[in-house]
Amino acid sequence: MHTRVLTGITTTGTPHLGNYVGAIRPAIQASRDPNVDAFYFMADYHALIKSDDPDRVEASRLMITASWLAAGLDPDRTTFYRQSDVPEVPELTWLLTCVTSKGMLNRAHAYKAAVDRNIENQEDADAGVTAGLYMYPVLMAADILAFNANKVPVGRDQIQHIEMARDIAQRFNHTYGRDFFVLPEALIEEQVATLPGLDGRKMSKSYDNTIPLFEGGPKALREAIMKIVTDSRAPGEAKDTDDSALFTIYKAFASPAETAAFADALHGGLAWGDAKQVLFERVDAEVGPMRERYNALMARPEQMEDILLAGAAKARAIAGPLVETLREAVGLRSARRTPKTAEAVTPAPVVAKAKPPRIASFRDTDGSFRVRLFAADGEELLLSVPFADPKAAGALRQALSTMGGTNAIVEAKEGRLVLSVDGQVVATGSESSDDSALPRLRASLDALAAATAEEAAAKAAHAGQGA
Ligand code: TRP
């Protein structure tokens, strides 16, 4: 089966060694797996949230594009594009915005951090906060959902955004009654090293402790490596490799055998200065050939433009039809399709539209009583366990029609949904259930509970009239 893997790179900075080891290299590696359908893009609309410096945004887009291509990304095997070349993304953003709960966005970490800072400084809670920052998670959800990506490789700080994308997808599916979207999953690469920076903390622009990947050439690479903080042990003294940033960076570029040899040399008293030279040479052996390609690409930006536009065309071939379907689903439909007569534009009565899910009871061949739950579209969602007593089957019927989706105790066991009531397994779903089976079941239980409540209210009103 093809897994669609998608990730975005915010185009604000210059790629550094930490980006290469933590994101670029593993993503390119993953894209070579024949079972992976990789979508990688410059999140340049997201960049506008972080930077209002046009030249910086422009330069960063180019440098990041060149870096990924130079590091070996094959634009023919992958879909490599700029977010801003895919107008379906902002269009989808709006459709999603209209089902997104504002309360959820209030809880987004980046927004909350800004508010907390303001409150701490006794400013207005939203001082300096743009609506762009606030909407960041919805734009990111559109990035992912426009392609129905299955897996999204991200850093830990982005997990909440993936959860929000799932929430938004579920709400949309539920509101418009169909599985338009698959629910994406965050992919956290545990084995991939987070590279330490010059001062030993995680290499990050915000700590100002980065080692450049290509910019500045070998000279800048060497100069940065010489600035890596080490302890004060003198040449000849045994060095500790355990919490040495220098050693950790070496390990990220070297084979196990090279790493063991380097550790031996350090334990044997190799001077830090010499160790830095060894590290520089090892890193440059991998990065040097890429740097040549990088420089060639940066010298011909029009070539990158062609590659990116071809990527956008591939991306739009997928997002375009999906957004077309969604427009139709939400009611943004062509007026030409149906004759503009009064009947045609009069919406169908709501009662007729809202066909609820259905419960059916039946007697099995062995004489036991069972219950089935069907979705509104006829799909069988649950089959109950057999009951000897028809009253027990009746009680389950009653429970199913009132419990609602949120309260239902459902878990997935061996690929099947299992519903329990009072600690007893009472019904199971079909074997081939996918990720969307659970939200579908919950949605149906919700619809059923709503229909039951409506019916009860109507009966009560009727009884009231009679009295
Ligand atoms: N927010 C991500 C980051 O800062 C970048 C990003 C934008 C992204 N859209 C995305 C990542 C979609 C994954 C999927 O790292």
3-state secondary structure of 365: coil
Facing residues of 16 across strands? Answer: 212
**462 pLDDT higher than 70:** yes
**What's the pLDDT at 441?**
87
Q: pLDDT tens across 306-355, in order?
A: 999 999 999 999 999 999 999 999 999 999 865 545 555 555 454 444 57
Q: Kindly report the CATH class assigned to 3-194+300-325.
A: alpha beta
Q: Is 61 within 8 Å of 301 (Cβ atoms)?
A: no
Dihedral (C-alpha) 271, 272, 277, 282: value to the nearest 10 degrees?
110
Which atom of ligand 1 sits closest to the CA of residue 83?
9
User: So where are the chain's domains?
Assistant: 3-194+300-325, 211-231+244-298, 350-466
Q: pLDDT tens across 27-54, in order?
A: 999 999 999 999 999 999 999 999 999 9
8 touches ligand 1 (CB under 6 Å): yes
Of 13, 441, 71, residue with least CA distance to 205: 13
DSSP string, 378-396: S-EEEEEPPBSSHHHHHHH
Sign of CA dihedral 74, 76, 80, 82: positive
- Closest Cα to atom 6, ligand 1: which residue? 8
**What's the pLDDT at 446?**
82
- Closest Cα to atom 4, ligand 1: which residue? 10
401 touches ligand 1 (CB under 6 Å): no
Which CATH code fits 350-466?
2.30.29.80
What's the 336 CA to ligand 1 centre distance in angstroms? 39
3-state secondary structure of 445: helix
DSSP letter at 184 equals P
What's the 62 CA to ligand 1 centre distance in angstroms? 18
Pocket-testing residue among 40, 84, 138, 161, ligand 1, by greatest number of atoms within 8 A of Cβ: 161
Structure token pair of residue 312: 């956008």
For 254-300, where are the alpha helices, taking DSSP H only?
A: 256-267, 272-299
**432 pLDDT higher than 90:** no
Query: What is the largest distance, in Å, between two alpha-carbon atoms of the chain?
Result: 101
3-state secondary structure of 138: helix
Sign of CA dihedral 369, 375, 380, 383: negative
Q: pLDDT tens across 226-247, in order?
A: 999 999 999 999 999 998 999 9
28 touches ligand 1 (CB under 6 Å): no
Alpha carbon 230 to chain centroid, angstroms: 38
The CATH architecture annotation of domain 211-231+244-298 reads Orthogonal Bundle (1.10)
Whether pTM exceeds 0.75? no
% of the chain surpassing 90 pLDDT: 75
142 touches ligand 1 (CB under 6 Å): no
